[in-house]
Amino acid sequence: MSTGSHFKTRLPEIRARPFDRKKDAPTQIENLLPRGQQARLRAIATVLEHQRANNTIFSEGEDAHFVYSVAAGAVRISRHTESGRRQILALMLPGDLFGLPDCGLYVNSAETVSPATLYRVPWQRLHEVLLEEPELQVSLLLRLAFDLRQAQRRIVMLGQHNIAQRLASFLIELSQHPDFYSEQTHQLEVPLTRSDLADYLGTASETVIRAFSKLEKNGLIRRISRAIVEIQDLDALRNLLQEKRRVGRLRR
Partner DNA sequence: CGTCCTATTGACTTTCGTCAACCAATGTGG
Partner DNA sequence: CCACATTGGTTGACGAAAGTCAATAGGACG
* Site membership for DNA, residue 130 (CB under 7 A): no
The one-letter amino acid at 149: R
Provide the mask over 185-204, with x wherever binding to DNA is found by CB under 7 A and - wherever it is not. --------xxx------xxx
Nearer to a second copy, 120 or 161 (CB): 161
CA–CA–CA angle 137, 155, 96 (5° rounding):
35
Calculate the dihedral angle through the C-alpha atoms of 111, 118, 228, 182, rounding to the nearest 10 degrees.
150
Tell me the closest approach of the beta carbon of residue 23 to DNA, in angstroms: 25
Q: DSSP assignment, residue 114?
A: S
248 binds a second copy (CB under 8 A): no
C-alpha pair distances (Å), 128 with each of 35, 102, 123, 131, 171: 18, 17, 9, 5, 39
62 contacts a second copy (rule: CB under 8 A)? no
**Residue 72 burial (10 A CB sphere; 0-12, 13-18, 19+):** middle
One residue of 115, 205, 234, 236 binding DNA per CB under 7 A:
205
HSE, side-chain direction, 13 A CA sphere, residue 207? 15
4 binds DNA (CB under 7 A): no
Q: Given the complex with DNA, which of 23 and 244 has the nearer CB atom? A: 244
State the greatest distance between any 2 C-alpha atoms of the chain, in Å, as a whole number: 71
105: contact with a second copy by CB under 8 A: no
Cα distance between residue 129 and residue 159, in whole Å: 39
98: burial class by Cβ within 10 Å (0-12, 13-18, 19+)? buried
151 contributes a contact to a second copy by CB under 8 A = yes
Least distance (Å) between residue 207 CB and DNA: 3
Judged by CB under 8 A, the stretch of 5-13, 15-23, 83-91, 175-183 that binds a second copy is: 83-91
C-alpha radius of gyration, the chain, whole number = 20
- The C-alpha atoms of residue 231 and residue 146 are separated, in whole angstroms, by 27
Residue 155 binds DNA, judged by CB under 7 A:
no
Q: Does 81 bind a second copy (CB under 8 A)?
A: yes
Residue in 49, 202, 222, 233 binding a second copy, rule: CB under 8 A: 202
The residue (of 30 and 132) whose beta carbon lies closer to a second copy is: 132
How many residues lie near a second copy (CB under 8 A)? 39
Residue 162 touches which of a second copy, DNA, none (Cβ within 5-8 Å per kind): DNA
Q: How far is CA 156 from the centre of its chain?
A: 18
Give the residue among 178, 176, 180, 212 at the shortest CA–CA distance from 194. 212
Contact residues for a second copy (CB under 8 A)? 79, 81-83, 85, 87, 89, 100, 102, 107-108, 131, 134, 137-138, 140-141, 144-145, 147-149, 151-152, 154-156, 158-161, 199, 201-202, 241-245
Contact residues for DNA (CB under 7 A)? 162-164, 193-195, 202-207, 209-210, 212-213, 223, 225-226, 244-251
